């Protein structure tokens, strides 16, 4: 029996799965997921009927397979027609299967053209320099509130054409949706709360889209509205709203977590931090390792098995739900040598932090660009940065995601 933060980790897989629902274990879930992977890398939860996959091989197989998908499962919820939040999730790329998913993803890639991305890169560099200049005037600051929460959200909002005075409110509406990402269906009360935010966000974006139809600009929403395929297909206004929220979700709040936890990991590993500071040529490798270790998505969106299939010696029946546990897969010692050691030059590094296959995170390019620049710029500008408090102020209210509420640091 291993020791976790709150005591011994049980040898019973079912007991571990139940403990993973608690806030105390979510503060440091690694010992529990590691033990679950050792005991039962493919495990069916008796309480929910959900199959949890914690080994890299099984997670990778399911993520890449077209024998698993959404099957319109959200539409089976009796609240679907009356809940704007459920409808938004159902129309999201993660809630779709081919051919609808293939079509919308292709149109999204057209919108993310080289000029749009390059404009965002230039703005990212200017914004990061501006924020770092402000922080240089202070001996202490909060990496989360004063830096990580500002960079990705501001960049994405700017790319969309959202005025700066609306960024904070816009980000709050968006973040509310992450409360629904769980294998466990939301309560009526939670759904009602998130519906309020989604309604406000949809109304705001509808106004922006109407303005861009009349007067196109060089922002992402205008690019989405102009998408066209050889068949003359275009995104509808509703699809522009949904795709905008997909990119915002993948590029803002989750990237904030990667930046925060990535900086924390570097501050706790001075030799690796020094390596990054001195050698910008390893930036890409470094970010892949940081997203492996600090990835914000704990459990991928559950999938339905479309037919009877065998996974790791277990018979998964058609219609049963399967949840790849990314945080466990990314620390699988069968794939990653010494998985709990931060190694910025790890190669190969086949992590699953962005998912895999047809449903790989559509915002992964944005997250990589924004996250690496923000992390590298901060530690290079302040090479002697230190944590003011070693305790992790973890956000523990979300089952499928993790985050950091605050991270005070000192410049000297």
CATH number of residue 112's parent domain: 1.10.630.10
- Integer Cα distance of 120 and 102 in angstroms: 25
186: enclosing H helix or E strand = none
Beta-sheet strands, E only, within 215-336: 303-305, 309-311, 314-316, 321-324
Asked whether residue 141 is domain-assigned, the answer is: yes
Quickly count: other Cβ atoms within 10 Å of residue 30's Cβ: 14
Q: 34: which 2 tokens?
A: 């590691």
Plot region of 407 (φ>0 → left; ψ -120 to 50 → alpha; else → beta): beta
Is the peptide bond preceding residue 99 cis, with omega within 30 degrees of 0?
yes
Asked whether residue 247 is domain-assigned, the answer is: yes
Is 1 a residue whose pLDDT tops 50? no
- Please give the tally of structural domains in the chain: 1
Domain that holds residue 187: 79-294+354-410
Q: Model-level pTM?
A: 0.90
Asked whether residue 126 is domain-assigned, the answer is: yes
Is 241 a residue whose pLDDT tops 60? yes
Q: Which residue has the higher pLDDT, 190 or 39?
A: 39
Is 231 a residue whose pLDDT tops 60? no
Of 167-171, 299-303, 308-312, the range with the lowest mean pLDDT is 167-171
Asked whether residue 35 is domain-assigned, the answer is: no
Asked whether residue 225 is domain-assigned, the answer is: yes
User: Which residues, 6 or more positions from 201, have their beta carbon under 8 angstroms from its beta carbon?
Assistant: 170, 173, 174, 245
Is 47 a residue whose pLDDT tops 50? yes
Asked whether residue 401 is domain-assigned, the answer is: yes
User: Which residues, 6 or more positions from 173, have their beta carbon under 8 angstroms from its beta carbon?
Assistant: 197, 198, 200, 201, 204
Asked whether residue 24 is domain-assigned, the answer is: no
Report which DSSP code applies to 21: T
Asked whether residue 71 is domain-assigned, the answer is: no
Task: Kindly state the average pLDDT of the residues 403-407.
Answer: 92
Of 43-52, 175-184, 209-218, 269-278, the range with the lowest mean pLDDT is 175-184
166: enclosing H helix or E strand = none
- Integer Cα distance of 130 and 312 in angstroms: 51
């Amino acid at each position: 029996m291993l020791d976790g933060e709150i005591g011994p980790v049980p040898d019973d897989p079912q007991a571990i799965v139940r403990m993973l629902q608690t806030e105390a274990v979510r503060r440091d879930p690694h010992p529990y997921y590691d033990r679950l992977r050792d005991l039962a890398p493919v495990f069916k939860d008796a309480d929910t009927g959900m199959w949890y996959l914690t080994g890299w091989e099984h997670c990778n197989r399911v993520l890449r397979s077209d024998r698993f998908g959404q099957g319109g499962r959200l539409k089976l919820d009796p609240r679907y027609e009356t809940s704007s939040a459920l409808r938004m999730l159902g129309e999201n790329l993660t809630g779709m299967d081919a051919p609808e998913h293939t079509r919308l993803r292709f149109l999204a890639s057209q919108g993310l053209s080289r000029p749009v991305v390059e404009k965002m890169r230039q703005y990212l560099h200017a914004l990061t320099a501006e924020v770092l200049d402000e922080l240089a005037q202070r001996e202490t600051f909060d990496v989360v509130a004063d830096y990580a929460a500002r960079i990705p959200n501001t960049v994405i909002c700017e790319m969309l054409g959202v005025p700066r005075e609306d960024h904070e409110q816009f980000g709050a509406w968006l973040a509310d949706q992450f409360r629904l990402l769980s294998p466990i269906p939301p309560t009526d009360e939670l759904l009602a709360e998130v519906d309020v935010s989604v309604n406000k966000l949809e109304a705001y974006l509808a106004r922006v889209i109407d303005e861009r139809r009349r007067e196109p600009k060089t922002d992402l929403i205008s690019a989405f509205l102009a998408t066209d395929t050889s068949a003359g297909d275009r995104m509808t206004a509703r699809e522009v709203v949904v795709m905008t929220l997909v990119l915002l979700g993948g590029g803002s709040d989750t990237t904030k977590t990667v930046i925060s936890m990535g900086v924390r990991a570097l501050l706790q590993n001075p030799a690796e931090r020094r390596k990054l500071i001195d050698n910008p040529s390893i930036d890409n490798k470094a970010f892949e390792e940081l997203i492996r270790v600090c990835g914000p998505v704990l459990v991928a969106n559950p999938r339905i098995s479309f037919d009877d299939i065998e996974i790791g010696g277990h018979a998964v029946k058609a219609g049963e739900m399967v949840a790849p546990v990314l945080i466990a897969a990314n620390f699988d010692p069968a794939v990653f040598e010494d998985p709990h050691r931060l190694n910025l030059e790890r190669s190969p590094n086949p992590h699953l932090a962005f998912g895999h296959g047809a449903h790989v995170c559509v915002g992964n390019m944005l997250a990589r660009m924004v996250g690496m620049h923000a992390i590298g710029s901060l530690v290079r500008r302040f090479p002697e940065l230190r944590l003011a408090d070693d305790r992790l102020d973890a956000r523990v209210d979300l089952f499928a995601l993790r985050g950091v509420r605050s991270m005070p640091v000192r410049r000297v």
